[in-house]
Chain A
Amino acid sequence: MAEGGEPVILEDYLLVEDVPLLEEMAEEDEELDLYNEMTFGLDRDSTEEDAAKPLMPPETSPELAKVVAEETEAGEELGSGAAEQLEELGEPQEEGGMELEVEQVISELEEEEEELGTEEQEEDQDPSEEPNDLGDPAVMRAVQSKPTLESQDSAVLDSRIGTCWAEFGKEDMLAMDPVVWGSCPGSIPPHHVLEDKAILQVLERPPPSTNMALDFLGSPMQRGYGGSPRLKHPGFRLMSPKSFPQRFLRQQSPLMPRSLCSPRPFTPARRPSPLFASNQTAGYAAPTPFRPISPHISPPQPLTMHFGPVSPSLDPALFFSPSASSQLNLSTPSHMTQLHPQHQRILTQRQQQGGQAQSISPKKLWSPKVDPYAGLMTSKEKDWVVKVEMIQLQSENMDDDYYYQTYYQRLERKQAEEELLGRRNKQEPPKLVTPFIQKVETYDSVVRIAGSLGQVAVSTCYSPRRAIDAVHHALVEEAAGSHRLRALHRIEKLFLQLLEVEEMQRKMSLAPEEQQPCCQEQKSQEVERIYQALKIRACSSEEEAEDEFLQLLCVQKGKKLTARLLPHLPREQAEKILLTITHHLPFLMKKDVLDESLPLLYSPLNEVVGGMTFSNLIKVLQEMTRPLPKSPELPLTMALKNQFGISLLYSLLSHGERLLSSDVPLEPCGGDFEMWTDMVFLVARELSQVPKASLVEPLFLPSNLLSLFCRYLDKQTIHHLEAKMECSPLLSEAAMLC
């Protein structure tokens, strides 16, 4: 079809009485096509007959178009006889293929022509594919069309809006198929709609309220509008232009959501809900559904909306119903969840200020021409979405909606500061418990179906984010199992407890001052429980493999557990752990060869070391120097070859040096200093003896080690050690001073 060619509509011939109007429509089709082409690409169908006007889906190849043209010619010849036949015909053929849509139109007669058509189709298939083959069936047509006004000026939505409106009169009411969601009012010339068997069937069907399939499509406007009998309501006004081609209407079965139809046949004024009349297009006003509704407003037609997933558990009062919300008692505080108090304050303030018109974006360039598709999403629907979003905000869990929480925390902090500075004279109004939504049911967080693996995701509109519970509720106790398995199980249990402790810690830091002591107590109790569960006890070298705590430490996660627990432990317990680790250091180092995860423990242990007294330090260091029964090497020597070991050693030495060089009285026990000196000498000796190759670089090299050695050793040794330890030039200066 050449540009601007007229699509031929076969059905024009079916209802003979409508012929005069048909001709008008035919002229309009020309303009229609321009618009269609802009959106969907140029139609190549090139039937130019004035009489026969088959509807062509845009993807039809030119050859098929010719075929169809021939078919329609044939149809033409059959004349009015076809009309009755076609009307009597049964189901619309709901084939998915676009090419076959044409047959829908012609039905019986097609079968003959079909053969004719397919023959020709097959012949011409290959060449026709090339121009059409953009590799994407959804790419309708990619042909240069003349630039439309819309493409040149993005402010123009539809250059023909004004022209078509006047053309629609009352007859167009007939075209209105309220059953079809968002049926196209004006875009489809009414006769064509009526001539479409599909539409006819739908119109003759009983009112849509019984049709479940359409229920979810049935927006309130549908319900309010009722069935076909109400079509001729005089107040009805059509808005949209013929933006979508008839062809699209034909391509869909009446039951399918007419996603391609132009939406929203109604103007906002027709909405049965006057509550939001003022708020229709101008952005979105204050949350009017949340306050007690004035009695003059009539209840909206649908008390239940079936938007989105229909959950049987949804409280009908949830949906917008003024009568229901007026029953909500604002003054009673309750167990109901609530929004962040600051948010509630803002909301109530807004309510008090009344429904001010929201500022419309000044950039509404197309304001002279009203966007015909605007308002597809009704204010009811917007309310509903907002409601759900609000529900999502109401959560006991601090982690949900971090930004929302942080925003209000900061706001409160700012206000508190301002109050402190005396800028604000009065306190914020007391917290309002606005029962925004009543949670009618207790939400079963974890659903376990017998015999299934794992959990089933259960998320309702109350907690849309809650898919599954990451926390395992039914911990299975394992009686038997290998050591390792039991150790792993214990680690998991203890980790959960640790996570709770950390959560408590976090909450504590955010909570007001008064609550902190009792939270602290709670936390200490929990920590104590975990510590006891670790079962740290003295054990000899033979029992090392059996010791439960050491088993935990052999697993990387167990080390992580200990590392994360250490900061929360009281001093003595932390030092006990340090002592145990140092005591069993060779064992742990041996077990860690594969994992190399001991360094995880370095950081927290370093902290612990940093707070030790001199005597305790000596005790720990002594562990490193006690001779091992099975090996000639000292733990010390072994430690030098292990990254964690050497780091720990350096950390201990460094702390000792710090203590000694500071002015703090050390209160040493008897023999401590001798021990210390012996230690230093021993370390120095081992360091010098260990070949450089096997000396491992520590995680952190304290700067005061050299000065420590300086005090006890001679220059030569120091230089030797320095080279070994690969000190930086700065430190070597310290050596020079010795």
Chain B
Amino acid sequence: MNYMPGTASLIQDIDKKHLVLLRDGRTLIGYLRSIDQFANLVLHQTVERIHVGKKYGDIPRGIFVVRGENVVLLGEIDLEKESDTPLQQVSIEEILEEQRVEQQAKQESEKLKVQALKERGLSVPRVDTLDEY
């Protein structure tokens, strides 16, 4: 049992497989080897997982040191249930291609939206020029 009840600590999570979601949208999966008081993480045998639709692809990345403030959330992966997923793993090239296609489609629809708004005299600031939050 956690000997700091009422608080959250990553101490119990050391050496376990985790899924980490970063602020830039990346998903990392790796063994959590080390932490510090800022929740900076050291991930071992890390794999970056890209999801597009029902498919995903893993890119092996090695060791990651993640600055704590960039983590949105993380959670332990249940190794028993890990393979029990409806998602289909594909090769890296395929998933990157799918991602590219998805990005393109999004950009195009965004462009159309902006165009339509412009015609109506409205302008929405681009997301990348806005503050993150």
Contacts of B82 in A (CB 8 A): 154
Contacts of A343 in B (CB 8 A): 4-6
**Cα distance A377–B16 when bound, in Å?**
12
Q: How large is the interface on B (under 10, 10 to 19, 20 to 34, 35 or more residues)?
A: 35 or more
**Cα distance A373–B12 when bound, in Å?**
16
Contact sample, A vs B, 17 pairs, CB 8 Å cutoff = A39-B45, A40-B62, A140-B60, A142-B92, A142-B93, A260-B63, A283-B12, A343-B6, A346-B5, A363-B79, A363-B80, A371-B31, A376-B34, A385-B35, A386-B9, A388-B36, A464-B37
Interface code B96-133, partner A: CB below 8 Å = 1, 0 otherwise?
Answer: 10000000000000000000000000000000000000
How many inter-chain contacts with C-beta < 8 Å in the A-B complex?
110
Looking at the assembled complex, report how far the CB atom of A147 sits from the nearest CB atom of chain B, in whole angstroms: 11
Given contacts A287-B3, A386-B9, A408-B6, whether A377 and B65 have CB atoms under 8 Å apart is: no
Residue A375, interface by CB 8 Å: yes
Q: Assess whether B36 is in contact with A308, with CB atoms less than 8 Å apart.
A: yes
| Residues of chain A having any CB pair with chain B under 8 Å | 38-41, 134-136, 138-140, 142, 144, 154-155, 259-260, 263, 281, 283-284, 286-287, 307-308, 340, 343, 346-347, 350, 358, 361, 363, 365, 371, 373-377, 381-382, 385-386, 388-390, 392-393, 401, 403-404, 406-408, 411, 461, 464
Q: Assess whether B37 is in contact with A392, with CB atoms less than 8 Å apart.
A: yes
Given contacts A142-B91, A350-B3, A377-B34, whether A385 and B11 have CB atoms under 8 Å apart is: yes
Q: Assess whether B62 is in contact with A375, with CB atoms less than 8 Å apart.
A: no
Closest residue of chain A to B83 (Cβ to Cβ) is: A154
Given contacts A259-B63, A385-B36, A392-B37, whether A404 and B6 have CB atoms under 8 Å apart is: yes
Query: Which of A38, A347, A373, A377 meets B35, CB within 8 Å?
Result: A377
Contacts of B8 in A (CB 8 A): 403
Looking at the assembled complex, report how far the CB atom of B82 sits from the nearest CB atom of chain A, in whole angstroms: 5
Closest residue of chain B to A135 (Cβ to Cβ) is: B96
**Cα distance A343–B35 when bound, in Å?**
23
Query: Which of A259, A283, A365, A389 meets B37, CB within 8 Å?
Result: A389
Query: Which of B1, B11, B62, B93 meets A382, CB within 8 Å?
Result: B11
In the A-B complex, the 4 residue pairs with the smallest Cβ-Cβ separation, listed nearest first, are: A407-B6, A142-B92, A388-B37, A377-B34
**Cα distance A375–B5 when bound, in Å?**
24
Looking at the assembled complex, report how far the CB atom of A386 sits from the nearest CB atom of chain B, in whole angstroms: 6
Contacts of B9 in A (CB 8 A): 385-386, 389
Q: Assess whether A382 is in contact with B6, with CB atoms less than 8 Å apart.
A: no
Q: Assess whether A403 is in contact with B6, with CB atoms less than 8 Å apart.
A: yes
List 6 additional contacts besides A142-B92, A393-B4; criterion CB under 8 Å: A136-B59, A343-B5, A386-B9, A390-B4, A404-B7, A407-B6
Q: Assess whether B63 is in contact with A373, with CB atoms less than 8 Å apart.
A: no
Closest residue of chain B to A464 (Cβ to Cβ) is: B37
Query: Which of B12, B16, B62 meets A260, CB within 8 Å?
Result: B62
Q: Assess whether A39 is in contact with B62, with CB atoms less than 8 Å apart.
A: yes
Closest residue of chain B to A139 (Cβ to Cβ) is: B59
| Residues of chain B having any CB pair with chain A under 8 Å | 1, 3-9, 11-12, 14-17, 31, 33-38, 42, 44-45, 59-63, 65, 78-80, 82-83, 91-93, 96
Main secondary structure of the interface of B (DSSP, over half): mixed
Looking at the assembled complex, report how far the CB atom of B38 sits from the nearest CB atom of chain A, in whole angstroms: 8
| Of B4, B65, B79, most A-chain CB atoms within 10 Å | B4
Given contacts A139-B92, A308-B36, A386-B11, whether A284 and B3 have CB atoms under 8 Å apart is: yes
Contacts of B35 in A (CB 8 A): 377, 385
Q: Assess whether B4 is in contact with A389, with CB atoms less than 8 Å apart.
A: yes
| Of B6, B16, B35, most A-chain CB atoms within 10 Å | B6
Contacts of B38 in A (CB 8 A): 464
Given contacts A142-B91, A381-B34, A392-B37, whether A371 and B15 have CB atoms under 8 Å apart is: yes
Q: Assess whether A386 is in contact with B4, with CB atoms less than 8 Å apart.
A: yes
Contacts of B62 in A (CB 8 A): 39-40, 260
Q: Assess whether A284 is in contact with B11, with CB atoms less than 8 Å apart.
A: yes
Looking at the assembled complex, report how far the CB atom of A139 sits from the nearest CB atom of chain B, in whole angstroms: 6
Q: Assess whether A286 is in contact with B3, with CB atoms less than 8 Å apart.
A: yes
**Cα distance A142–B48 when bound, in Å?**
13
Q: Assess whether B96 is in contact with A134, with CB atoms less than 8 Å apart.
A: yes
**Cα distance A140–B59 when bound, in Å?**
9
Given contacts A154-B82, A284-B3, A407-B6, whether A259 and B59 have CB atoms under 8 Å apart is: no
**Cα distance A216–B31 when bound, in Å?**
23
Q: Assess whether A377 is in contact with B14, with CB atoms less than 8 Å apart.
A: yes
Contacts of B79 in A (CB 8 A): 154-155, 363, 365
**Cα distance A351–B90 when bound, in Å?**
51
Looking at the assembled complex, report how far the CB atom of B41 sits from the nearest CB atom of chain A, in whole angstroms: 11
**Cα distance A132–B31 when bound, in Å?**
27
Looking at the assembled complex, report how far the CB atom of B111 sits from the nearest CB atom of chain A, in whole angstroms: 22
**Cα distance A690–B91 when bound, in Å?**
75
Q: Assess whether B7 is in contact with A284, with CB atoms less than 8 Å apart.
A: no
Looking at the assembled complex, report how far the CB atom of A371 sits from the nearest CB atom of chain B, in whole angstroms: 6
Looking at the assembled complex, report how far the CB atom of A382 sits from the nearest CB atom of chain B, in whole angstroms: 5
